[in-house]
Amino acid sequence: MQTTLRQSLERERDHILGFWDREMTDHRFGGFYGKMSAGGRPDPFALKPSVLTSRILQSFAAGAIQTGRSEWLAAAGRAYAWFRDHCIDPEFGGVVRDTDYAGRCQDPLKEPHAMGLALLGLATWQHANPSTETLHLAKGIYSLLQLYTHDPVRGGYTGACSRDWQSGQPERKSMYDQLHILEGFSALYAVWPDDSLRHHLHDLTKLFLDKIIDPQTHHLRLYFDADWKPEGNMISYGHDMQISWQLQRAAEALGDEALLQRTREAAVQLTDAALEGMDTDGGLWYKADPETKHLVEEKRWWPQAEAMVALVNAWQVSGDEKYLAQAGDTWRFTEENIIDRELGEWRWGVNRDGDPIPEDLAGFTKGPCHNSRACMEIVQRLQ
């Protein structure tokens, strides 16, 4: 089973990255198209979000590292060049939210999660293709995050800022921002083992363990006030799965044995909690509100990807074969219901009846990061 799953995901990694290289490269204006419809039609004049460029950069750089394929290193280089030339604010620094198809800034909002994803992309590119320029960009983004969005008293990172770094939401914090900053910090620390970065990565990992994970339910809390008082009870099953292995990855990067033990325990608890959202067909539901009993009856592409990694990780941590079996079931569901074999990418998802959700095949929140990363993570773990 392990061999079959690894080989299947090796092929799927190649299909996903091949699609983005073949179908989404913008040969006229540079970088990659910002949107493709559910029917497979790219929009050459769509906005190009910095988040999407960061995800593309991370995906191709990771693919080049794992396979040594020169065409994917070149694709990562195209994504990096676009990011460097168009996604950095030339006056105030940091990452802008959107550019147009030709690279002109359309929304200069500074979002912490976008900068976390930028660090993830840049750090992976630095690993694949080391350069002083890349590391300089990453250090600059990290420094601005710390200067303008870090809460040194209560911990964590606040909401989005204006172009000149005036905070628009100092009274609110979200799990989403903390998650993507954690991912970025973990990747950056692997290529730049700075003492300050180590301190902040350690604090952010503990913040998840102590404040963001609900100690009773082991689900993630999603929104908070400035003092980390939870707001709302919505459960995001995909994020439970995602953070379960990302927290462990952070502790591994730090080399902190006590913290690693805590994150390994949390990984299994988070995965078990998220399995409440697993349907009998192997597909993971999107979200649920335990108070109202409302279930968002969608099985989106990215929770399936994150579930597979989390389940393989839980199997490796616990030794319990049920997690590996469930990972296989979720992969079969994904093969049968999510992957668009005709076009080459993963659909947005399916509804309760199994009908495709007619959302974009690629766009602002749908890049190659979740699914290609899941393939690469599991391939590496099963080698």
pLDDT at 381: 97
Whole-number Cα distances in Å, 304 to 62, 144, 232, 312, 334: 20, 34, 24, 12, 7
For the chain, list the domains and their CATH numbers. Answer: 2-382 (1.50.10.10)
pLDDT of residue 171: 77
| pLDDT for residue 174 | 96
pLDDT at 106: 97
pLDDT of residue 228: 97
Contact 273, 296 (CB under 8 A): no
Give the list of residues 6+ apart from residue 304 with CB closer than 8 angstroms, or none.
283, 284, 330, 333, 334, 338
Instruction: Give the orientation angle of helix 301-318 with respect to helix 321-337, to 10 degrees.
Output: 160
User: pLDDT tens per residue, the chain (383 residues)?
Assistant: 899 999 999 999 999 999 999 999 999 999 999 999 999 999 999 999 999 999 999 999 999 999 999 999 999 999 999 999 999 999 999 999 999 999 999 999 999 999 999 999 999 999 999 999 999 999 999 999 999 999 999 999 998 999 999 977 777 899 999 999 999 999 999 999 999 999 999 999 999 999 999 999 999 999 999 999 999 999 999 999 999 999 999 999 999 999 999 999 999 999 999 999 999 999 999 999 999 989 999 999 999 999 999 999 999 999 999 999 999 999 999 999 999 998 889 999 999 999 999 999 999 989 999 999 999 999 999 99
Q: If residue 300 lies in a helix (H) or strand (E), which one and from where to where? A: strand 298-300
Query: In the chain, what is the straight-line distance between the N-terminal and C-terminal CA atoms, in Å?
Result: 13
Q: Which residue do the tokens 């105030």 mark?
A: 92
pLDDT at 210: 98
Q: Which two tokens stand for residue 208?
A: 């998840």
CB-based burial of residue 233 (10 Å sphere; 0-12 exposed, 13-18 middle, 19+ buried)?
A: middle
